[in-house]
Amino acid sequence: MTSRNLRALIGPSILNSDLSKLYEESQKLLDNGADYLHLDVMDGHFVPNLTFGHPIVKCLRSKINNAFFETHMMVSNPEQWIVPMADAGVNQYTFHIEPVTNVEEVCRKIKENGMKVGVAIKPGTPVAEVEKYVNISDMVLIMTVEPGFGGQKFMEDQMAKVQYLRDNYPLLDIEVDGGVGPATIDCCAKAGANMIVSGTAVIGAQDQSATIKLLRNSVQEAINKNQQN
Ligand SMILES: O=C(CO)[C@H](O)[C@H](O)COP(=O)(O)O
Ligand SMILES: [Co+2]
């Protein structure tokens, strides 16, 4: 949890981009105004899909020096990858709490390795499960699809979790991920999300820059409105 003002931040997911051009696609997103990059790491075990791991992240970091990298760790043993990801130049390590027995220990180890901590929950996990860790993490990720694949339909029923967290933790960084784009952003913004992951909607946009701006404006307007009340 942080004590600064909330900011609207847009972190495109490169999951559904042309991964043979990972550097070019990532740089294009940053040039078009992305605030950070959301890198989806899947192990084929916690989720039924495989993506990439720390060697690829390290290569990307060697070409992109100054962007904020968040890895979304959809893996069964998040503790295993903390040191390699820190070494690869990751800034924030966001992991799912569902398979973890000692979440505090994982949070501690992530911080010890110089990264920010994100704690994530799947749609079926109650918000109370993640609320326990709000005070020892930098961000909470509320998944708005079942993790594993890009391009799925946004689950509006997850907004109750976002709203609950925002009502109780006004300065908490709350991220949403899955099916978020121009058609669903107002709903996320209104519920109180301030960190927005958007994959397909940004990657496939005719005008990436305009889409990123539209997402950010919607969230910033909601933040401003909230602060007036
Ligand atoms: O974590 C993810 C899937 O598990 C991705 O970040 C997410 O799906 C983003 O892609 P899209 O906006 O296309 O849904
Ligand atoms: Co993700």
The letter for the amino acid at 159 is M
Computed on alpha carbons and rounded to an integer, the radius of gyration of the chain in Å comes to: 16
In whole angstroms, what is the distance from residue 87 CA to residue 69 CA?
12
Sign, CA dihedral 213-118-44-22, equals positive
Q: Among all chains, which residue has been given the structure tokens 């040039």?
A: 31
Q: Among all chains, which residue has been given the structure tokens 């609950």?
A: 164
Predicted confidence (pLDDT) per residue in 160-176, tens digit: 999 999 999 999 999 99
User: Is this prediction's ipTM beyond 0.95?
Assistant: yes
Look at residue 207 and tell me whether its pLDDT is greater than 60: yes
Measured in Å, residue 216 CA sits from the centre of ligand 1 at 18
In a domain? residue 82: yes
Q: Pick the residue whose CA is nearest to atom 12 on ligand 1.
A: 199
Q: Is 207 an annotated catalytic residue?
A: no
In a domain? residue 78: yes
Measured in Å, residue 177 CA sits from the centre of ligand 2 at 6
Look at residue 1 and tell me whether its pLDDT is greater than 60: no
Q: Is 177 an annotated catalytic residue?
A: yes
Catalytic, out of 35, 43, 173, 177: 177
Look at residue 3 and tell me whether its pLDDT is greater than 60: no
Best residue among 29, 37, 40 to mutate for probing ligand 1's pocket (most ligand atoms within 8 Å of CB) is: 40
Measured in Å, residue 228 CA sits from the centre of ligand 2 at 31
Residue 151 Cα: closest atom of ligand 1? 13
Residue 227: the pLDDT is: 82
Specify whether the CB–CB gap between 181 and 214 falls below 8 A: no
Which H/E stretch holds residue 10? Answer: strand 9-12
In a domain? residue 1: no
Ligand 1 shell residues, CB under 6 Å = 13, 15-16, 38, 40, 72, 74, 145, 147-152, 177-180, 197-201
Residue 152 Cα: closest atom of ligand 1? 14
Structural domain span for residue 184: 9-228
Residue 4: the pLDDT is: 67
In a domain? residue 2: no
In a domain? residue 124: yes
- What is the residue-averaged pLDDT of the chain? 97
Catalytic, out of 35, 40, 43, 138: 40
Measured in Å, residue 50 CA sits from the centre of ligand 1 at 13
In a domain? residue 76: yes
In a domain? residue 110: yes
In a domain? residue 48: yes
In whole angstroms, what is the distance from residue 116 CA to residue 129 CA?
20
pLDDT, mean of residues 185-199: 98
Residue 159: CATH number of its domain: 3.20.20.70
- Write the burial class of residue 168 (CB in 10 Å: 0-12 exposed, 13-18 middle, 19+ buried): exposed
Measured in Å, residue 167 CA sits from the centre of ligand 1 at 25
Predicted confidence (pLDDT) per residue in 19-34, tens digit: 999 999 999 999 999 9
Lowest mean pLDDT among 1-5, 73-77, 119-123, 136-140: 1-5
Dihedral of the alpha carbons of 203, 223, 141, 80, in degrees to the nearest 10: 90
Closest ligand, as measured to the CA of 144: 1
Specify whether the CB–CB gap between 17 and 204 falls below 8 A: no
Residue 112: which residues within 8 A CB-CB, separation 6 or more?
none
Q: Please tell me the pTM assigned to this model.
A: 0.97
In whole angstroms, what is the distance from residue 120 CA to residue 125 CA?
10
DSSP, collapsed to helix, strand or coil, labels residue 96 as strand
Predicted confidence (pLDDT) per residue in 34-83, tens digit: 999 999 999 999 999 999 999 999 999 999 999 999 999 999 999 999 99
Total number of domains constituting the chain: 1
Return the exposure string of 140-153: e unless at least 16 CB atoms fall within 10 Å of the residue's CB, then b.
Answer: bbbbbbebbbbeee
In whole angstroms, what is the distance from residue 147 CA to residue 124 CA?
11
Residue 147 Cα: closest atom of ligand 1? 4
pLDDT above 90 coverage of the chain, percent:
96
